[in-house]
Structure 1
Amino acid sequence: MVGIVLASHGDLAAGVRQTGSMVFGDQENVAVVSLEPSMGPDDFRANLEKAVASLEDQEQVLFLVDLWGGTPFNQTSAFAKGHDTWAIVTGLNLPMLIEAYSARIDATKSAHDIAAHLVSEGRKGVRVLPEGLEPKVTASKAAAAHAGAIAPGTVLGNGKIDIAAVRIDTRLLHGQVATAWTKQIAPNRIIVVSDGVAHDELRKTMIEQAAPPGVPANVVPISKMVEVAKDPRFGATKAFLLFETPQDLLKCIEGGVDIKKANIGSMAHSVGKVVVTNAIAMGEDDVKTIERLRELGVEFEARKVPSDASENVDAMLKKAKADLAAQANQ
């Protein structure tokens, strides 16, 4: 696995790494080097050398540095001379780091491969609201973006939507989903399936704006998702489906959508529910719904981020039943 060194003035690199762990999970083979006000270039260089020495593989090293021409970059550039397999990318930001984490999962990729990929992907992480402030696209690109709707009956691909992954998450589309999970799954569309959110213009707009670069997000009611699953025009779509509750997932499957696997990311606590993990709370209806889904052949896992090991779903249901029974007897 390619080793990563984050280098910056002050605590920027350390902060980006900490935030990256919140989104993508804790990562091994990552080191941080910070240039503090009391340090000179030689001090920074010494810490840089220690950071590389701490990596499992010193042959493939990727340096993500804050500023081209600053001391961290200058010292890293000097240190990298003679190491032809190393690579340096400046402009360190959170989307860049998340993309690097995702890219290095492929063990065949070198530090150079990942660096070349990050140059474009890191720039995509810079976006603006209001969207009218975005640079104007060329006329040809604008025409392509506003191409007419596909005629009913048109068959794309194999005529059947590819549901690449399904997740139950009270928060729906947030940082972990937009970065870690989307990078892992590589969909070309995120679909939030919820009657409630589909009729809430504010939440709907916020979700659409939270979509990661290059992967549009749509919010649809359950009935619309049932129609989409039967529409051959979506045969070229690789979708990541997000549900707010297991009840919505059950309604979708009962409507005819073929779903055999689902990830439980988070289920928020509320009155009448019991906490079964640090991210999941269940009430009686949740337990019954998940058990019904399993009877229908749905296989569950429970993970916040791809790097986590799955929680034992049987143990979660058992704990939920015991705690709900104890709560009822109080």
Structure 2
Amino acid sequence: MKMVGIVIASHGQFAEGIQQSGSMIFGEQQDVKAVTLKPSEGPDDFRAHVQEAVASLSDPEDVLFLVDLWGGTPFNQINNLLTDHKDKWAIVTGLNLPMLIEAYGARMGETTAQEIASHILEVAKDGVKVKPEELAPKEPASATSPAQAQPVATNGTVGKPGDMDYVLTRIDSRLLHGQVATAWTKSVSPNRIIVVSDAVAKDDLRKNLIQQAAPIGVKAHVVPVDHMIELAKDKEHFGGQRVLLLFENPEDVLRAVEGGVPLKTINVGSMAHSVGKVQPNKVLAFDQTDVDTFKKLKEKGLQFDVRKVPGDGGENMDNILKKAESELQAQKA
């Protein structure tokens, strides 16, 4: 699939550093180049680096430039090159990590550099926040009248009969973190993220952090397993909700399925290592209970999608479980 090329440009090594950060969150990306202006270089040197980077892209005619500072040398040199590509190229300044991650997600669809540039502006601005919150300037009151507002149930969910649409169910011991809040949210487009965990539901600090980590336009909730079972049975208030479920472990998933949550496929993303567990691949660690639980889930007809991020190739869960079981047996010997 064709993707818009991205050139990240900055004074010093900022561009290289933020590219590395983006890869940690979203995975390695093709057609992304970092270009830096070194202290020993001048404008002509930087311009030559940019031209080299653009020439190396799959489609040099459709390029998005993410630049650190409006009016600085990197911007000025790229802006000079833009003259011959006004219909295709685009520059966005004020480079930050939310901007880069949103650009990565946006280019996964059929789109252009200029469309992405327009799309990522609000995300980049919203990435600038302050703590304590009262230091932030007051937002103007919404112009939407009560009569225009969509009716909302008392639990904060738009009331509508029907079933939830489970767009992704993921096992991830880190729960809601960068890869989920960006890559997976962009891939499956939920309007609700529900963390299902008895332990986290009792921890006000973790609940608060999860709610703050939710991406723009998506609400995050934390509920115990039994409460999730009840929500799944509610046919009055959750119809049409596109829900991304996050579990810490397979045991909670099994409880939910046995309680009636209608799940079909489980994305297995990350299971942290601890004492007594074996690690058959880089991101998954199992004890015997975990292995047995996955077998029970398979017996109930569930499918497994073993991937950290959407762009990864899937791994075979049966092979992973066999390797884990073999390592567990060797551990006992």
TM-score clears 0.5: yes
| Aligned residue number for residue 66 of structure 1 | 68
The reply on whether 1:179 has 2:182 as its aligned counterpart is yes
Instruction: Spell out the pairing of 1:243-258 with structure 2 (5 A cutoff).
Output: 243-258=247-262
Residue of 115, 119, 122 corresponding to 1:120: 122
Does 1:131 pair with 2:126? no
Q: Contact conserved, 1:86 with 1:112, CA < 8 A, in 2?
A: yes
Q: Secondary structure at the match of 1:21?
A: helix
**Per-residue deviation at 1:135?**
3.0
1:80 to 79, 82, 94: 82
Partner of 1:205: 208
Matched residue, 1:284 = 288
Output the amino acid matched with 1:14.
E
8 A contact 1:208–1:216 mirrored in 2: yes
Number of aligned positions between the proteins: 326
Deviation track 1:162-221 (CA, whole Å, cap 9, x = no partner) reads 111010011111111111111111111110000111011121122112212221211001
Closer, same or farther: CA 79–147 of 1 in aligned 2, 3 Å: closer
Counterpart CA distance in 2 for 1:151 and 1:176 is 31
2:163 corresponding residue in structure 1: 160
Shift of 1:59: 1.2
**Alpha carbons 2:150, 2:158 under 8 Å: kept:** no
Trace 1:206-245 onto structure 2 (pairs within 5 A). 206-231=209-234, 232-245=236-249
Match of 2:98 among 95, 107, 116: 95
Residue 143 of structure 1 and its aligned partner are, at CA, apart by 8.3
2-structure distance, mates of 1:122, 1:56: 26
- Whole-angstrom distance in 1 between the partners of 2:150 and 2:199: 30
* Mapped contact 2:153–2:159 kept (Cα < 8 A): no
Distance in 1 (alpha carbons) for counterparts of 2:298 and 2:214:
30
Asked if 1 retains the 8 angstrom alpha-carbon contact of 2:176 and 2:213, the reply is yes
Cα distance in 1 between the residues matched to 2:319 and 2:145: 53
Alpha-carbon shift at residue 226 of structure 1 (Å): 1.1
Is it true that 1:263 corresponds to 2:267 in the alignment? Answer: yes
Cα distance between partner residues in 2 of 1:80 and 1:203: 46
Q: Which amino acid aligns with 2:104?
A: Y
Distance 1:141 1:276, change over 3 A: farther
Paired residues of 1:125 and 1:213 also in contact (CA < 8 A): no
Pair 151,159 (structure 1): closer, same or farther in 2 beyond 3 Å:
farther
Are positions 1:315 and 2:323 aligned together?
no
Mark the CA change 1:61 to 1:149 in structure 2 (over 3 Å): closer, same or farther: closer
Contact 1:156 1:236 in 2 (8 A): no
Cα offset for 1:128?
2.4
State the Cα distance separating 1:104 from its structure 2 match.
0.8
Evaluate the alpha carbon distance shift between residue 155 and residue 47 of structure 1 in structure 2; reply closer, same or farther with a 3 A threshold. closer
Give the distance between the partners of 1:13 and 1:25, measured in 2 at CA. Answer: 17
> Structure 1 residue aligned with 2:298, among 278, 294, 297?
294
How far is the alpha carbon of 1:66 from its aligned partner? 0.6
Alignment check: 8 A CA contact 2:164 2:243 kept: yes
Distance 2:59 2:293 in 1: 47
Check the 8 A contact 2:161/2:237 in 1, yes or no: no
CA–CA separation in structure 2 for the residues paired with 1:191 and 1:234: 13
| Aligned residue type for 1:236 | G
TM-score (norm 2): 0.93
